[in-house]
Structure 1
Amino acid sequence: MIKQGMRTALMALALAGGMMASAPAHAEGTLTVSSPQDPGSWDPVDTFLVNWASVATNIYDGLTYRGPDTKLVPGLATSWEVLDDGLRIRFALREGVTFHNGEPFNADAVKFTFDRLMGEEGKKGPQRSNYAAIDHVEVIDDYTVDMHLTQPDPVLLTKLAGYGAMIVPPKYIAENGEDYFNAHPVGTGPFKFVSYEPKVGIKLEAYDGFWGDQAKISNLEYRFISEPSTAVAELQAGRVDLVIPPTIPIGMIPTIEEDPNIQVVTTASPTVYALRFNTANGITKDERVRKAMIYGVDRKAIIDAVLGGQASEIVSFQGELSFGYDPSLEPLPYDPNKAKELLAEAGVAPGANVQINIRGNDSTFNEVAQAVASYLQIIGLNATIKPYETNVLLNDIIPQGKTGEMFQQSWGGWTLDFDNTAYFMYHTGEKWNPYDSDPKMDELLESQRAITDQVKREEILREIANYAADRALEMPLYNLNAIFGLSNRVKNFIPVPDSRLRLNEVSVD
């Protein structure tokens, strides 16, 4: 909840130093990171991808910052004050900050960033609706801005710490154009852009003018390695120092643990996995069929057999870290007889075909999907698995409504608030909801966004979770730990739950 009482603590933190710079240290060495996906654009308004954030958190800053401990602290804003019953937030901005191109950071840059996000450029990407409460930003002076809202947004301060809210340089974009900016990012973060080769990798170097703690490494390089076995082999060979989620298959953890030069580091994560249903076409248009498929799959057995203790069962599309999680919500039990009854009631003939679309490079989920298909075979459904290259599945197949009856959806839930998941998954017209339109669901989703009373808001979020489960909009599967592969030459690495890694504190031997 956004509270007036928050101000004092935040301002005290800012005055005490917050994230202010320590004395610059000499940066040396190169850290090489394996990332499973090239986001295709480095513009904050163009993306939703965790693999974008794992890189871009080192290039950009937001007005706020949330680190590995999940606590919100000052970023490019040193303090903020919530005014007018939550309809206006005044930010005091950090002075003396420059973008990587030498352009000064100031109130004009903040206004430009949000005008752009809420304008035509932002409209082209997936981030705009996440910041829909923002009406406009008003410049008060060079280092003070007022953010005017159409309604209170209790999660906005967290949203300002990532993705579409990252502050961008107005003059640089005006001079070079949007397409150039997509491939040549400039921010105020601890590392600056050097080069980018699509599908291959991106190279960064320490930015000596960074306002915070100077990087302890001179170069930060990301290689896009989609094949998990290749990423692990490169880690073993010493050509990669860090492999980030969701690359490492559960089955390869023992291989890493047996190597004395590398290790597995895990932490609790908000990332959840489900098989979502096509509710508009085919046999899964019928709610009875969707519930039959859930009854027909022993999800706990799959978790125990495939995931080796690195995941927990979920009932709704969120884990325990999520605000809105309902511990009293019970899953549909494994009951193949009940599944067969519902299929017969819905008039589904034995041997009916269903297609499951998955990410081709996710070997762990491929095993999960194979197990799901086997269970569906038992209740009389002929399930086939169709893998896609990740970017094709996420940018074409799902948003365009071209999936089969079921499709893989994983979601980071990086705000640790169910709104950030549920609104994108269930609201009419959203990119990740190509099939369903439910006025009751839309009303619930919209109503909780305007409520600052967190008790009331939590009640509505739990109602949303229960309603989605009652309609069987997806087959909830599991909440997976964040699993990192790490070379022993890397020092001071702290795993983060949401993969938004800021690596200026890391050093290498």
Structure 2
Amino acid sequence: MRNVKKALTAALLASTVMVAPVFAAGTLTISSPQDPGNWDPIDTFLVNWASVATNIFDGLTYRGPDLELVPGLATGWDELDDGQRIRFTLREDVVFHNGEPFNAEAVRFTFERLLGEQGAAGPQQSNYVAISEVEVIDDYTVDFHLSEPDPVLLTKLAGYGAMIVPPQYIAEHGEEHFDNNPVGTGPFSFVSYSPREEIRLEAFADHWDGAPELDNVVYRFITEPSTAVAELQAGRVDIVIPPTIPVGMIPTIEAHEGISVVTVPSPTVQALRFNTQSGITADENVRKAIIYAIDRQAIIESILGGEAEPITSFQSPLAFGYDPDMELVPYDPDKAMALLAEAGIGAGATLQIDVRGNDSTFNEVAQAVSAYLSVVGINATIQPYETNVLINDIIPEGRTGEMFQQAWGGWTFDYDNTAYLMYHTGERWNPYDSDPELDALLNGQRSITDRAEREAMLQEIARYTADRALEVPLYNVNAIYGVSDRVENFEAAPDSRLRLTRVSVGE
């Protein structure tokens, strides 16, 4: 079937007058499906922020597409006092884009800001609460004092809230200005930002890791997949980053000369999470019935074209803590109806599924889920929201329907960072549930230094949440990129965080 679609697509393209490519020398243009709306590292959790800001900012550590953790702004680190203190040795002769020097004071400022009142207003602070104090030893040495163990801290320092920011610049221009005019130490510096349209960067020749090969990078915010692919075909976009491209459009890209599809396994997982407080999904048996009612393998084959794998818990096989021995809940509509009957739910029961309106692939998935639920007597309506509204307003404030889409990048590749934020009482992504036993498991695994013992506890957490049916774990999807052949030295990142220092473009 895929070959037939490809042949038909090729024939259609051959009969169509194509727009001549528009290439800019030294400029790479990237299509991103979402404008984060704020470039301050402590104010975001979005993968599409990281895909841009990985080039503006640096952290003390860095993790590239190979998933190996290496020095960033810190050249090395040592664990002291039985792990209660970490000493970082910092790079010398590093400057921010505004000429301000990078030093130990910048590191202290960054984390005091993150862990203080400013950080409390954003979504990143809870990732770094193990840090009780950052002590300046000298201009290029800092000690992180920890109030509790955090086995994922060094990885967290490679992303999001831990990106090092310039104290003098923020003091001079203010927080609101920094939101839309970011300054970091990364390989590209900020030029301009047009909300919902684009952000422009230029090469920072004084970057500590060498000047980029590119002169400029333009990220265009294109929410509609067909528009992004059309721009790639026309030569006005060089790379389309995940999660833009629906599986159904892969043949369209493959059939077009001069562009190609690059896919890599990713940590990104999709689930339909449950409102456990109200509606029919407050009943655990109803939640379990819904999971039995959905044929996830059929959805993967028919809608996702095999570019995904079913998951047993809300994490990918790439995550530390994944249990390969956990069994998938099978598709069993008879079992589903029996559980519904046990819960006293008769035919005609209703529920609402909240989704990201611009996610065309998941909208198809939601339609399929609705059809499966109708078979067992549940009438599901689908409520689309603009993505930023759903994730910044509807979910955190607990105003969803009975089920809601949750996409998660799992960027630390450690189940802790997913599970803690999803299931611990009071966390942003857990507006409905409070389970003291689960809280104890989540807190307990963070204090364990033995890797095997901690992995076993993370696997126990996964089984516990599955037993309580806190979500429908759907699938782990590949990262799908569309790439122009003129892009050189491109390496697809599993988590969409492309570092563009060594990328170049041909004519």
Q: Which amino acid aligns with 1:499?
A: S
Partner of 2:390: 393
Partner of 1:298: 295
- 2:192 paired with 1:195: yes
Partner of 2:254: 257
Q: Is contact 1:310–1:481 with CA below 8 Å preserved after alignment?
A: yes
Structure-to-structure mapping, 1:173-192, within 5 angstroms: 173-192=170-189
* Counterpart selection for 2:26 from 24, 29, 42: 29
Local SS of the residue matching 2:109: helix
Over residues 407-445 of structure 1, what are the superposed CA-to-partner deviations in whole Å (9 max), with x where a residue is unaligned? 000101011000010011101111111111111111111
Partner of 1:240: 237
Aligned length: 483
Question: 1: distance between equivalents of 2:269 and 2:261?
Answer: 20
- 2:315 paired with 1:318: yes
Partner of 1:113: 110
Question: 2: distance between equivalents of 1:169 and 1:409?
Answer: 33
Local SS of the residue matching 1:33: strand
* Counterpart selection for 1:89 from 86, 90, 96: 86
Q: Is contact 1:36–1:247 with CA below 8 Å preserved after alignment?
A: yes
Question: 1: distance between equivalents of 2:337 and 2:346?
Answer: 10
* Counterpart selection for 2:162 from 156, 165, 168: 165
TM-score calculated relative to the size of structure 1 = 0.94
Partner of 2:10: none
- 2:63 paired with 1:66: yes
Partner of 1:498: 495
Q: Which amino acid aligns with 1:441?
A: L
Question: 1: distance between equivalents of 2:142 and 2:407?
Answer: 36
Local SS of the residue matching 1:97: coil
Structure-to-structure mapping, 1:271-350, within 5 angstroms: 271-350=268-347
Q: Which amino acid aligns with 1:311?
A: A
- 2:505 paired with 1:508: yes
Question: 1: distance between equivalents of 2:44 and 2:408?
Answer: 14
Partner of 2:16: none
Question: 1: distance between equivalents of 2:329 and 2:243?
Answer: 27
Local SS of the residue matching 2:213: coil
Q: Is contact 1:28–1:217 with CA below 8 Å preserved after alignment?
A: no
- How far the C-alpha of 1:261 sits from its partner, in A, is 1.3
Over residues 344-374 of structure 1, what are the superposed CA-to-partner deviations in whole Å (9 max), with x where a residue is unaligned? 1111121111111111111111111111110
Partner of 1:4: none
* Counterpart selection for 1:224 from 218, 221, 225: 221
- 2:20 paired with 1:39: no
Question: 2: distance between equivalents of 1:28 and 1:420?
Answer: 41
Partner of 2:465: 468
Structure-to-structure mapping, 1:80-159, within 5 angstroms: 80-159=77-156
Question: 2: distance between equivalents of 1:127 and 1:450?
Answer: 21
Structure 1: give runs of 5+ residues left out of the alignment. 1-26
Question: 1: distance between equivalents of 2:477 and 2:329?
Answer: 20
- How far the C-alpha of 1:204 sits from its partner, in A, is 0.3
Q: Percent identity?
A: 71
Structure 2: give runs of 5+ residues left out of the alignment. 1-23
Over residues 99-155 of structure 1, what are the superposed CA-to-partner deviations in whole Å (9 max), with x where a residue is unaligned? 000000000000000000100010000111111100010000000000000122111
- How far the C-alpha of 1:28 sits from its partner, in A, is 5.9
Q: Which amino acid aligns with 2:442?
A: L
Question: 2: distance between equivalents of 1:289 and 1:164?
Answer: 38
Q: Is contact 1:213–1:505 with CA below 8 Å preserved after alignment?
A: no
* Counterpart selection for 2:415 from 412, 418, 429: 418
- How far the C-alpha of 1:213 sits from its partner, in A, is 2.8
Question: 1: distance between equivalents of 2:371 and 2:408?
Answer: 25
TM-score calculated relative to the size of structure 2 = 0.94
Q: Is contact 1:92–1:144 with CA below 8 Å preserved after alignment?
A: yes
Local SS of the residue matching 2:475: strand
Question: 1: distance between equivalents of 2:66 and 2:232?
Answer: 27
Q: Which amino acid aligns with 1:181?
A: F
CA RMSD of aligned residues (A): 0.9
